[in-house]
A and B are shown apart, each in its own frame.
Chain A
Amino acid sequence: MRDFFHIGKATPRPDGPDKAAGKAHYIHDYERPGMLYGKIKFSDHSHARIKHIDTSRAEKLPGVKAVITANNTPEIRFGFLRDNMALKKDKVRQYRDEVAAVAAIDPDIAAEAIDLIQVEYEPLPGVFTPHEAMKEGAPLIHESDPRGRPRSHNILPLKYHHESGDLDEGKRTAKHIVEGEFSTPLVQQCCMGTAGCIAEFDMNNNLTLWAKTQIPFLAQRDFNRVLSDMGLKEKNTRIIVPALGGAFGSGLDTHAYEYIAILLAFQTGHPIKIVYNRREEFANLSPRQSSRTRIIQGCDQNGKLTFRQVDVLQDNGAYTSWGATYPSVMLMPATSLYRVPHITFDAKLVYTNNTYCQAMRGYGNPELTWALESNMAELAERAGIDPFEFRMLNRNEPGEITPMGLKISTCGLKECLEAVSEKLDWKRGTKKGKNSGVGMASLIHVGGGGRIYRSDASGIILKLDDFGNVNVFYGGVEMGQGLHAVLIQSVAEALGVMPDKVFINPTDTGTCPWDVGTHASRGAFMAGNAAILAAEKLRSKIFELAEELFPAEVEKNLKKHQKKNPDYEPPDLDIANAAKRNRFDLQEGYIFIKDAPPEPWLRMDLGRLLRAAHFRPQGQMLTAEAFYDPPNESPDNEKGFGNLSATYAFGTQGAEVEVDIETGDVKILRMVAAHDVGKTLNPPGLKGQIYGALAQGVGYALYEELKSDKGKIQNPDFRDYKIPRTNEMDFPIELAFIETDDSFGPFGAKGVAEPGLVPTAPAIANAIYNAVGIRIRDLPITPEKVLAALKNKKMA
C-alpha cells in the first residue's frame, strides 16, 4: 500500500463545530420572507371511495390562505411506477392518503383548518397481506394502471428472476438439505430530523425547493415534470439541500408533501413550508418494506453448498416507490454470498392497502441475509459442521465471478470470518454458558457504486482561488454520514494541498455538477474517485502555468535569500530547464521541482501562482471538472445477471448473547464487527458508520416494528416504536477493519455505509440458537416470541 499524507488519518468533519454549537441549519430552522405553513389532511380509511370533500369551513378560517384538493388542482402523478398522486381524487388506497391541504399564516391555524375539512367516504373492503391480495377475486387496489389500462390482479408488473446451474442436479448431489421461511417487519428510518421542505416560486415561475433529499438531480427532474403538468412548460426547479437530520434511504424518492407544497406555493404566491411532526413522520412517511423469504439450501457430505433456492414475497403497500426494487439488491446475496453452483431466485411484489414503502439502508440486503445466514447456520448444524468452518469452506475468494456475474475484485471475507472467530474465542467451543451463546453471520454488499439507474455517475468541479483555497462543488449529499470530511481528504490528497484549504459548497442543483444520488453506499467511493480525476486535471493545469511563472519566482526568492545569507550556496539545479521539462510536484499547497532539496526559497505557494495568473494581462483562472462513472453494469433483473458494482464489500459480525429464560429477554454481551473496507479513509467516520449501522441492526433484530392494523399504524411515536438507546447499547463492540486495497476504490477504499447493519440480526439470532436452542424466524426477536419458542421446545 502507498503512503498517504491525509488518507487514513483522523480528519474532523467540517460541519462538526457548527453542529456542536447548534448553528447547523436544518429544514426546521429555515424561513423565507412571506412564508406560509402548509398542512396535509390525511385519509382515515385504508380503502374507500371519496364521495365528497367539504372545505368551506376551513376556507373561512381567518389566516387560511388556500385550501386545495384534487378538485381544484392539476393532477400530479409521481412515483417509480407513476401510480401515486399528490392529492387523491376518486379513492384512497391507504390510511395515510393525502386528500386535501391548507396554507396558513401559522402552524396552529393550519392544523385547525385541517380539522375543519370534512371528507365523506364510502368504505371499500381492504386487503392487508400479500397472500390476501393475491387471492382470486381480491379487491383491486388499483383498478387500472397509470396509462388507464384495466388491471386484473394486485401483483406489481416487476419481474425478478435468476436461474443458474441446474437446481435438480444441485438437489441430487446434496447430502443435507434445510428449508425455512423467514420474515422481516415494516421498520421506520427514524431520522431524528423529520421530513420537510420549503417551496418558493419567483415571478418567472421558476421554483426553488429546499428539500430533504438524497437525490437532488433526480428530484429536479421529477419536479420539472410536475411544473410541466401544472402548465408551467420549460420552467426549472432549483434544489438546495439544507443540513439533513439523517436520511437512511428516506430521501431516495420525491414525496407527496413536496408536490403539495409546490401546489400551495403556486396557488398562494407565497413560499410554503411543510414539516412533518413525529407522528406524521411515523404514520405518513414510507418505511422499509416487510418481506417473507422461503429459502432451501443443500450441501454435500463435505459441507460444500450444492444449491440454493430463494423465493421472496414483499408487501409493497398501496403505491410504488424505489422499495419495489429491493429484489435487485437481494439478488446479490442470494446468488453471490458464498459459492453455490446451482441457484434459483424469484421475487414478487404485491399491492395491499398498507402504507406504501420505500428505501432504507441496506435496501433488501438485510431482509435476504436474515433468511440466508439463519438458514446457513441450520444447514451447518444438519451437516454436523461448525458454523464458522462451514462458512470458511464456502467462502468467496478474490478474483471470482459469481453466478450473477459479479466480478469480485478483492475479497476479505476469509479475514473477516477469522477476525470474528478469534475475537469471540470461537475455537474454545462455541457454547459459552448455560443460557448464553455465540453466533455469526456474513454479508456481501455493493462497495463500488450500484448501477440502479442507467447512469451511476458523479460530477465534481474544483475551483482554485487567489489564496490557494480549493472550492469544491459536488452534487452528492452529506446527510450525516461524513461524506464531506472524506471529500476534503480526497481532494487534499489527490491535489497536494492541506485539508484546511479545501471548502465544500452546499449541495445545490444550481451550482453543483450532476450526480445520480447518495445511495448504495456510494458516497465516499464516488466522491473520492471523482476528486482524483479532477485533481489530476487541475495538477496538469497548475504545472503548465508554473512552467511560465515558477522560474522567475524562485530566482527572486533565491536572490533575496542569498542577500540575507551571503554564505548560502544554491543547489546545483537548472530551474529553467526543469520547468521546461515540467518536472513539478505539488504538496501541502506548494509547487516545487521533484528531487529538489526541501528549501522554502525553492518552492512557490499555490495562492501566489493563482494571483500571478489572475492579475497578469490576459490572465487566466484555474478550475477542473470530472465526471466519474464506475465500471459496473445495469443488471438485467428478469434474468438476474449483471455486475452491479465496481467492487464488493464483505463482512462478518459476531454476537455473544445471554437469554433470560424466565422473561424471554435477550441480552447482548458483546459484538464483533469485521468489515472489508478496502482502505480506511477517515477512521472516526468509518467507525461511526459501522457503530451506527450495527445499532440499527440491533433494533431490527430485537424490537423495531411498525405495527399496522388494517393499514393504520398503531405505534407512531418513540414510546411505542422503540429504537436503541444508550442503555440498550451497553455492550462492547469490537471492530476489525480488513484493508484489501481495491484497485477500483479511491485510494483502495470500498463503500461502508450499509454493510454494518446487514448481518447483525442473523448473527444475534444464531447466538440465541446457540444459547438456548430456539430458532426465531420472524423479526423482531421479542421476549414474547422467545418465551413461546422456549415453551414449544420444552413441549417437544
Chain B
Amino acid sequence: MKKTITFTLNGTQIDVTADSHQSLLDLLRVSLRLTGTKEGCGEGECGACTVLVDGLAINACLYPAYEAAGKNVITIEGLTGKNNELSDIQQAFVDSGAIQCGFCTPGMILSAKALLDTHPDPSEEDIREALSGNLCRCTGYVQIIEAVKKAANRSKDKP
C-alpha cells in the first residue's frame, strides 16, 4: 500500500510517497536518489546504512519508511555544508587516514555523530561501543577511532 508521508530530511520538510513494505533505505536510495547511504547487508548486521532518526543512529535497511513520518532524518548528505564544506567529523575521517574503500564511511560517520551529539567528550571505550555495529573490512578501526577522537577535540576547541 502506498501513502504519502511527511518528514524532515536533512533540515528540509519533504512529502514523499512510500510503500508499506519499503525500508527507509530503499526510500532514500531509490525514491529520493540519495545514494550516500550504503547497503552492505540488508539485514541490520553491518551498519553501512546507518542514518540518524531523531538523533539516534539506526539501520535504515530494517527501518520501515512509514516510521519516518513526522521524524527528523539525517543522512550523510545532510552533514556536508554549503560550498562543499565537510563537517568536523567528516574532515577528521579524511585527515586521520580513516577511509579506505569508503563503503562503510557514511554509516560510520553517522554513528560517530550520534555519539558526539550526546557525548561531546567520549572515552575510547564509548567510541568503540558506539561504532560496534558498523563493520569495516579495510582499516582495522584504529584510524577510525582516532578520527572520532580528533573530531571531539575539534568541536571542543570551537568557541
Binding site for B on A (CB under 8 A): 10, 12-13, 15-26, 28-29, 189-194, 243-246, 248, 277-278, 479-482, 683-685, 687-688, 691-696, 717-719, 723-727, 729-730, 733
**Bound-state Cα–Cα, A19 to B100, Å:** 9
Q: Are A695 and B42 in contact (CB under 8 A)?
A: no
Return the chain A residue nearest B76 by Cβ. Answer: A22
Q: Which of A28, A480, A685, A726 contacts B141 (CB 8 A)?
A: A726
Q: Which of B91, B93, B103, B145 contacts A193 (CB 8 A)?
A: B103
Using A20-B86, A246-B138, A729-B141 as known contacts, list a sample of 20 further A-B pairs with CB atoms less than 8 Å apart, ordered by residue number in A: A17-B90, A19-B105, A20-B91, A21-B77, A26-B38, A191-B103, A192-B136, A193-B38, A245-B101, A246-B137, A248-B137, A277-B41, A278-B45, A688-B97, A695-B140, A718-B135, A723-B135, A725-B132, A726-B132, A730-B128
Q: Are A696 and B137 in contact (CB under 8 A)?
A: yes
Q: Are A480 and B102 also in contact (CB < 8 A) when A23-B36, A688-B138, A733-B140 are?
A: yes
Taking CB atoms, residues of chain B closer than 8 Å to A12 are 94-95
Q: Are A22 and B129 also in contact (CB < 8 A) when A192-B103, A733-B140 are?
A: no
**Bound-state Cα–Cα, A22 to B103, Å:** 9
> Shortest Cβ distance from A13 into chain B, in angstroms?
7
**Bound-state Cα–Cα, A236 to B55, Å:** 51
Q: Are A20 and B94 in contact (CB under 8 A)?
A: yes
**Bound-state Cα–Cα, A20 to B93, Å:** 7
Q: Are B97 and A718 in contact (CB under 8 A)?
A: no
Taking CB atoms, residues of chain B closer than 8 Å to A23 are 36
| Chain B interface category by residue count | 35 or more
**Bound-state Cα–Cα, A718 to B61, Å:** 14
A-B contact pairs, 18 of them (CB 8 A): A17-B84, A20-B86, A20-B94, A21-B86, A22-B34, A22-B35, A192-B103, A246-B137, A278-B41, A278-B42, A480-B102, A695-B140, A695-B141, A726-B127, A726-B132, A726-B144, A730-B128, A733-B142
Q: Which of B46, B102, B105, B143 contacts A691 (CB 8 A)?
A: B143
> Shortest Cβ distance from B114 into chain A, in angstroms?
14
**Bound-state Cα–Cα, A29 to B39, Å:** 10
Leading 10 A-B pairs by shortest Cβ distance = A22-B36, A684-B97, A480-B101, A19-B102, A245-B103, A695-B140, A691-B140, A22-B76, A718-B45, A480-B100
> Shortest Cβ distance from A597 into chain B, in angstroms?
36
Q: Are B100 and A688 in contact (CB under 8 A)?
A: yes
Q: Are B137 and A192 in contact (CB under 8 A)?
A: yes
Contact with A along B75-111 (1 / 0, CB 8 A): 1110110001010001101111101111111100100
Q: Are A21 and B142 in contact (CB under 8 A)?
A: no
**Bound-state Cα–Cα, A248 to B137, Å:** 9
Taking CB atoms, residues of chain B closer than 8 Å to A246 are 100-101, 103, 137-138
Please tell me if B131 contacts chain A, counting CB pairs below 8 Å: yes
Q: Are A718 and B46 also in contact (CB < 8 A) when A17-B86, A22-B75 are?
A: yes
Which secondary structure dominates chain A's binding surface?
loop
Q: Are B38 and A28 in contact (CB under 8 A)?
A: yes
Which residues of B, 37-94, contact A by the 8 Å Cβ criterion? 37-43, 45-46, 48, 75-77, 79-80, 84, 86, 90-91, 93-94
> Shortest Cβ distance from B147 into chain A, in angstroms?
10
Taking CB atoms, residues of chain A closer than 8 Å to B91 are 20
**Bound-state Cα–Cα, A192 to B104, Å:** 7
Taking CB atoms, residues of chain B closer than 8 Å to A725 are 132-133, 135
Q: Which of B35, B76, B77, B101 contacts A192 (CB 8 A)?
A: B101
Which secondary structure dominates chain B's binding surface?
loop
Return the chain A residue nearest B93 by Cβ. Answer: A20
Taking CB atoms, residues of chain A closer than 8 Å to B38 are 26, 28, 192-193, 245
Q: Are A20 and B99 also in contact (CB < 8 A) when A190-B137, A192-B104, A684-B143 are?
A: yes
Return the chain B residue nearest A278 by Cβ. Answer: B41
**Bound-state Cα–Cα, A465 to B60, Å:** 44
Q: Are B143 and A16 in contact (CB under 8 A)?
A: no
Q: Are A24 and B137 in contact (CB under 8 A)?
A: no
Q: Are A729 and B86 also in contact (CB < 8 A) when A22-B106, A687-B97 are?
A: no
Q: Are A192 and B143 in contact (CB under 8 A)?
A: no
Q: Which of A193, A694, A733 contacts B101 (CB 8 A)?
A: A193
Taking CB atoms, residues of chain B closer than 8 Å to A28 are 35, 38-39
Q: Are A278 and B141 in contact (CB under 8 A)?
A: no
**Bound-state Cα–Cα, A723 to B75, Å:** 26
Taking CB atoms, residues of chain B closer than 8 Å to A29 are 35
Contact with A along B118-132 (1 / 0, CB 8 A): 000000000111011
Please tell me if B4 contacts chain A, counting CB pairs below 8 Å: no
> Shortest Cβ distance from A276 into chain B, in angstroms?
11
Q: Are B140 and A729 in contact (CB under 8 A)?
A: yes
Q: Which of B99, B106, B138 contacts A16 (CB 8 A)?
A: B99
Taking CB atoms, residues of chain A closer than 8 Å to B90 are 17, 20-21
Which residues of B, 3-26, contact A by the 8 Å Cβ criterion? none
> Shortest Cβ distance from A23 into chain B, in angstroms?
7
Return the chain A residue nearest B37 by Cβ. Answer: A22
Taking CB atoms, residues of chain B closer than 8 Å to A724 are 140-141
**Bound-state Cα–Cα, A194 to B105, Å:** 15
Q: Are B43 and A278 in contact (CB under 8 A)?
A: yes
**Bound-state Cα–Cα, A29 to B35, Å:** 6
Interface centre among A24, A191, A192 (most CB of B within 10 A): A192
Return the chain B residue nearest A482 by Cβ. Answer: B100
Q: Which of A25, A480, A696, A717 contacts B43 (CB 8 A)?
A: A717
Q: Are B45 and A717 in contact (CB under 8 A)?
A: yes
